[in-house]
Amino acid sequence: MIDFKNEISKAIEKVINIDSKTLNTYIEVPKDFENGDYAFPCFKLAKELKKSPQIIAGEIQEKIELDKKNIEKIEVVGGYINFYINKETIAKEVIDEISSNENYGHSNVGKNKNIVIDYSSPNIAKPFHIGHLKTTVIGGALYNIYKYLGYNVIGVNHLGDYGTQFGKLIEGYKLFGNEYDLTENPIDKLADIYKRINELCSEDEKVLENCREDFKLLEHGDEYCTKLWKKFNDLSIGEFQKIYDLLGSKFDFWLGESFYADKTDEVIKILENTGKLQESEGAKIVDLSSSGIDTPCIIYKSNESTIYATRDLAAILYRARTYDFDKCIYVTSYEQNLHFRQIFEVAKLLGLDEKYTNGLEHVAYGMVRLPSGKMSTRQGNFVKIEDLLNDTIKEAKKIIEDKNPNLEDKENVAKIVGIGAVIFNNLATSRIKDEIFDIDAMLNFQGETGPYLQYTYVRTKSVIEKVSSIPKIEDINIEVLTDKYSQNIIKLIYKFEDILNQVIDKNEPSILSRYLIDLAKAYSLFYNENKIIVDDENIKNARVFLTYAVGKVLKIGCNLLGINMPNKM
């Protein structure tokens, strides 16, 4: 399609002799199309050109040469130049592209670039609660979008299957294991054991020491501890897979912390050779104060056990060598900001090429909270995601039965709607914001929700069904699509690929979520203001095709977020 923004920046370059690539970064998209499709602010040029923004804008307007087939008019407002795209041109561009491209918005911008995404990463022997939901959903959406833009994406589930907590669980199992039958609801029972041993640890330092010793035994391959650890792993992964099946989550590799346990010696040796590894109260640390980080990074503890920072550093080495990544993205809560600042800084000491250390990125997100406050597996205050998903599906079914009691396959539709509501709820706003979970709000068919997008998509399918076929491209009169409501849709559809690029620039899926809501709202206005199925074939064909285009983009966009679309609701 025509790159109107690029055309504008090149035309301005000829007037003021500043590189078009730089000018392209200045161009803005007004919130309201009434103020133009693109706006060029002249304020940044005032110092360089030694003129007021208003004078610069006026001179550019007077001298600029643009193809009127593409840009039909320009206006100066204050220090801004507003550009208006030719309505018929953009309509034709969008209709032609939608008609010819099954994977609309797809590109090869990421060709030959490798992206590792570390996400989900639940802890073995602990319930998969809603605190793990956001990383799973954000990571899954980023995985899909990077891949759609041509990147080679490697999704890694970095399971929490190692560390002192396993020493606690092993010690707890020694003390209380005979009280539990792990053949049913094993994770709930292991969580209860973990809660009990934590209470004991807080009361008795000797018990905590025993837990630490158990983990040290596990690190050194003790047969009994290893056998228990494998048992806890197998039981947990079986339970996690049920959740992933519901969410549609998939990973290329399941490589937990334990995978890197035998790779930490190399990390320690490299750090020792740099002279940066220091002793502190019996532990070995790297002092990061010179990098503005007051808290040192502990590499191994006084009892010579490694910690997860050491294993994360080993993972960076492994991923650089194995995947040759351009980016390695970690999707975890903002509570781990300090941890990732530390290991990214220490990683610079591992002798890796700057390409790898510069490619490390922490994609932080806010907490998911209960109305009563923060969750904690230690205190037993958590919501299991399996229960939450099943409850949401049940509520979705009640709503569907009320709205459309004769709908076929209600069970499957309720599942699609319920799961879609949960996923969208986690992607609807900036990932860094904390979120309070509210089933009623996210199942609102009239709100800015997953079900609203699905309902709009179903509406487009219903229109297509009524006319029985999608009009051929040669039967579409572009002039019909120059009204305000049609143009709002066309301009949004035109932006789709740019929206996907914005998502990966900021690793922010909510940009796509917001866009899809805007598109659905624009279609609702169009649907209410323009009768679609009319006697006039020119009008009908154009509006039906635009309806088809909206449905296509809604489906592609929602699928990229991990949301399926029902054909009926």
Q: What is the pLDDT of residue 119?
A: 97
Determine the residue type at 152: N
**Strand 283-286's sheet: what is its strand order?**
277-280, 283-286, 297-300
Give me the helices (H) in 36-80, please: 46-49, 53-63
Q: What is the pLDDT of residue 33?
A: 80
What is the 8-class DSSP label of residue 446?
A: T
How many Å apart are CA 398 and CA 451, to the nearest integer?
14
pTM above 0.75, yes or no: yes
pLDDT of the chain, 569 residues: tens digit per residue = 999 999 999 999 999 989 999 999 999 998 888 889 999 999 989 988 899 999 999 999 999 999 999 999 999 998 999 999 999 999 999 999 999 999 999 999 999 999 999 999 999 988 887 778 999 999 999 999 999 999 999 999 999 998 888 999 999 999 999 999 998 889 989 989 999 999 999 999 999 999 999 998 998 899 999 999 999 999 999 999 999 999 999 999 999 999 998 999 999 999 999 999 999 988 999 999 999 999 999 998 887 777 889 999 999 999 999 999 999 999 999 999 999 999 999 999 999 999 999 999 999 999 877 665 554 444 445 567 888 899 999 999 999 999 999 999 999 999 999 999 999 999 999 999 988 778 888 999 988 999 999 999 999 999 999 998 899 999 999 999 999 999 999 999 999 999 999 999 999 999 999 999 999 999 999 999 999 999 999 999 999 999 999 999 999 999 999 999 999 99
Give the residue numbers annotated as catalytic, written as ranges: 126, 129, 132
How many Å apart are CA 359 and CA 355, to the nearest integer?
6
Q: What is the pLDDT of residue 276?
A: 93
Question: If we measure between CA atoms, which residue out of 393, 448, 402, 458 comes closest to residue 425?
Answer: 448
Beta bridge partners of 362: 330
150: left (phi over 0), alpha (psi -120 to 50) or beta: left
List where CATH 3.30.1360.70 sits in the chain.
4-85
Q: How many distinct helices (H) and strands (E) make up the chain? A: 22, 13
C-beta separation of 173 from 199 below 8 A: no
Q: Which CATH architecture has domain 4-85?
A: 2-Layer Sandwich (3.30)
Question: If we measure between CA atoms, which residue out of 178, 167, 162 comes closest to residue 224?
Answer: 167
Q: What is the pLDDT of residue 382?
A: 56
Q: What is the pLDDT of residue 371?
A: 61
Residues contacting residue 187 through CB under 8 Å, at least 6 positions apart: 125, 126, 127, 128, 235, 236, 239
Q: Quickly count: other Cβ atoms within 10 Å of residue 409's Cβ.
A: 12
How many Å apart are CA 288 and CA 276, to the nearest integer?
9
How many Å apart are CA 210 and CA 122, to the nearest integer?
25
How many Å apart are CA 331 and CA 133, to the nearest integer?
11
